[in-house]
Structure 1
Amino acid sequence: MDTLKNKYDSIIFDLDGTLWDSTANVAEAWQAVKQQVNYIKDDVTVAHVASIVGLTYDAIFEKLFPYLTTEQRNEFKGLAAISELETLNRTGGIWYPYLLETLKDLATRYKLFIVSNCQSGYIETFLKMDGLDGLFIGHQCYGTKTQPKWQNIVDVVNDYDLKAPVYVGDTMGDYEASVKAGVPFIFAAYGFGVVKEDQVATINEFVELKNIL
């Protein structure tokens, strides 16, 4: 794999499918809410959650439950958001192998950030996990300003005066957002999506970033 060393001053990460996999615990949280209401037809499974990774928090529930009324969907979304954060604060998600070791190594050479389409509080829950304190300089999410991911990437670039950032993500949506933001893209092929475009690199394990950056 070609080296990208000394090309960038910062790395902006997607979260789900790039840094961790929280699908099992999110499915558990949403299933618990399903039991509280009488209008969700099917059980919420890990496969359901995996199918919507990368979508904005509003779009997730439109895709999963198109048959709901606006009022029902908004109610379920609100309850799911609370249950999700409560569950993840207890259990977290599954880190990809060598995540902490790799992040600590990268933080010695780059400014690290997170931009995700998640709800407010979700990134903060990830950052509370042991060992992550102080590794990331900043973050932005859909839930803060309800704006598209590309705009959140641009905001991070501008807010922190980044001169040569690179974005790491695992879906076509991540790639498209980085392109629109004018930021080079590294594809995390171990995640939830497929990207076969003009990414500057593809990694099959998170730890590979230590060698190419």
Structure 2
Amino acid sequence: MNMNKMKQSDCSTSPAFLPDSIIFDMDGTLWDNVDTYAISWTRGLEKLGYSNKISRDDILGLMGKEARLMLNTLVPGWTAADQARLFEAVIESYQELLPVMKPIIYDGVLEGLERLSRRYPLFLLSNCEKGGLVNFMNHTKTSHLFMDYMEHGMNLQPKHHNLKLLIEKNKLKAPVYVGDTDSDSNQSAMANVPFVFVTYGFGTTKNYTKQFDSFTQLVNYYLNN
């Protein structure tokens, strides 16, 4: 049975699957920093002379998407060169906001990561820009808890490709990927990695190996089984 294709009704009765490592998505799984992203996009446009305002709602539906897809949605019809200039301005604006941003770190995440790291090797995987995961770890002071990470901005490859790279590089035998969207689920399936769905994030899915309604619930499950 392909565990990535299990339906919700299957999960409650399926035997526990315990991994040898846990790979986490960032946005919608560990924190909500959408307000900062929206400001960054608005300021990036301003740097190029545009007055468009990008709202939280504009960004929410694009969370977890690769930069190219976000650009095609937010500024359709722009040339690749103009999109590249905008994205550079957005990243520059985000870097300027780092000292003052106030992301919502989900309940139980900081303590939970600390507890999980005592039993499991932990990793990060995101479709964010290069340096995005480092910014997360620096802001949350969690760098010491993660063995390695991979982000879209490193090589511009899709998440399933980078998931395989991370697994091969670290010689993982039975990892799970924890995320919050149907895209995360699909990418996990393409990499043949069991997907763990957290319901408190930005999206929904019907395909997962296990689901949790809070980070603390996830932590307790993997530490008590």
Tell me the TM-score range normalised by the shorter chain.
over 0.9
In structure 2, list runs of 5 or more residues that go unmatched: 1-11
Correspondence for 1:44: 54
**In structure 2, C-alpha distance between the alignment counterparts of 1:165 and 1:2, rounded to whole Å:** 21
**Paired residues, what number?**
211
Cα deviation for residue 3 of structure 1 reads 9.2
Supply the distance in 2 between the matched residues of 1:24 and 1:55 (Cα, whole angstroms): 16
Asked whether 1:161 is paired with 2:159, we answer no
Aligned equivalents of 1:2, 1:25: Cα separation in 2: 40
1:84, 1:51 → 2: CA distance? 19
SS of equivalent residue, structure 2 residue 146:
coil
Out of 194, 200, 203, the position equivalent to 2:204 is 194
8 Å CA contact 2:44, 2:87 repeated in 1:
no
Aligned ranges for residues 140-159 of structure 1 at < 5 Å? 140-159=150-169
Of the candidates 29, 34, 40, which is equivalent to residue 40 of structure 2?
29
Q: 1:60: which partner in 2?
A: 70
Aligned to 2:80: 70
Q: Cα deviation per residue 1:57-76 (whole Å; 9 max; x = unaligned)?
A: 22211111103233322211
Of 10, 14, 18, the match for 1:7: 18
Which SS does the other structure have where 2:47 is aligned? coil
Structure 1 position 136 matched with structure 2 position 146: yes
Cα deviation, residue 92, structure 1:
5.2
Q: 1:109 aligns with which of 110, 119, 122?
A: 119
Structure 2: distance between partners of 1:145 and 1:61: 17
- Whether the aligned pair in 2 keeps the contact of 1:18 and 1:169 (CA below 8 Å) is yes
Distance 1:11 1:117 in 2: 17
Secondary structure of 1:129's counterpart equals helix
Change (3 A) 1:168 1:134: same
Structure 1's unaligned 5+ residue stretches are none
User: What RMSD over aligned residues (CA atoms) do the two structures have, in Å?
Assistant: 1.8
Kindly tell me: are residues 105 and 67 of structure 1, through their superposed partners in 2, closer, same or farther at Cα, counting changes over 3 Å? Answer: same
TM-score by length of 2: 0.87
